[in-house]
Amino acid sequence: MTPDILLIVKQFYKDLYCKVTSTTDASASHPENEEEDDSVPPVLAAEDHALRSGADSLTAILIHLFNLCLHQRTIPAGFADARTILLYKKGDAEDIKNYRPILLLSTIYKTFTRILTERIRVILNAAETDEQAGFRRTFSAIDHIHVNKELVQKVTEYRLPLYMAFVDYEKAFDLVENCYVWRALKRQQVPMPIISVLKKIYDKAKSTFCIGNTSIDVDIQRGVRQGDAISPRLFTIDASVHWTVDRITRCTEHFWHSVHRTGPDRDRPVFSWTELWTGPSSLDRA
């Protein structure tokens, strides 16, 4: 493995995961942020050693560890670290954009975040609108597909105009700004210990990219972690609270100018990270 390849990989993912929101902006979004101790309590370090040594009664140790993480609002060193391998997709093999990063996370860590997901699932479900069908129990993007197929059939039958804009977000998980996620969680009144632990996880997140027989470390400053149980929910809560107000409005503004239509009666089904905007149809006047 040549040094040039390692340098290209490190620079590409360093730029991708580099935080674009300044510290000032993040502080403005969270004026009530509390000071958090970066040191790991000795008891957590002891638990980490016990897990590595394969101690008996693992379930009891894990419960104790997870409760300590929530109580102390921190995590053991290396608990959230990941290993990443690059899987070739298609296209030019020399273009790093044609490789998919596969994140390998600790099983114990993934168990912990799955527990956190279950604890806040009811709260986050209450914050979601019916438009969001991605990553939700009893919801399916297929329902939205059927609705839009019916819409197309009706406007065709009545010979009415219909405009549809599909907005597909490139690297949607990777480009989430974490400060907006914490703000959204606070707005939905998620318990502060859980928010603090999640912030600590993402503040300490580091990924080791394995390329052949060599590896390089990359600091992760933004984005939600693919393969983590809680990541889809963090993504959708950010999309529901922040994207609909700010980013989506800007990126679709030219579309609505082109069809001369504005107002709250626009249809906007959401298929996880793909938005569909429709308008204007006049079925109500048909």
CB within 8 A of 160, min separation 6: which ones?
Answer: 154, 281, 282, 283, 286
Instruction: Please give the C-alpha separations between residue 139 and each of 130, 202, 272, 279, in angstroms, as whole numbers.
Output: 9, 28, 11, 24
31/65 Cα distance (integer angstroms) = 30
Q: Is residue 236 situated within a structural domain? A: yes
User: Is pLDDT at 191 greater than 90 in this prediction?
Assistant: yes
Residue 52 sits at φ, ψ, to 5 deg, of -65, -30
Q: Is residue 65 situated within a structural domain? A: no
> What percent of the chain is predicted at pLDDT more than 70?
67
Domain of residue 23: give its range. Answer: 3-36+73-285
7/218 Cα distance (integer angstroms) = 11
**Adjacent-strand bridge partners of 167:** 275
Among candidates 244, 269, 239, 266, which has minimal Cα distance to 255? 266
Q: Give how many domains the chain has, as a whole number.
A: 1
Lowest mean pLDDT among 22-26, 55-59, 119-123: 22-26
Q: What global pTM score does this model have?
A: 0.69
User: Is pLDDT at 24 greater than 50 in this prediction?
Assistant: no
Q: Is residue 42 situated within a structural domain? A: no
- Given pLDDT bands bounded at 50, 70 and 90, which one contains residue 215? confident
Q: Is residue 46 situated within a structural domain? A: no
**What distance lies between CA 128 and its chain's CA centroid?**
15
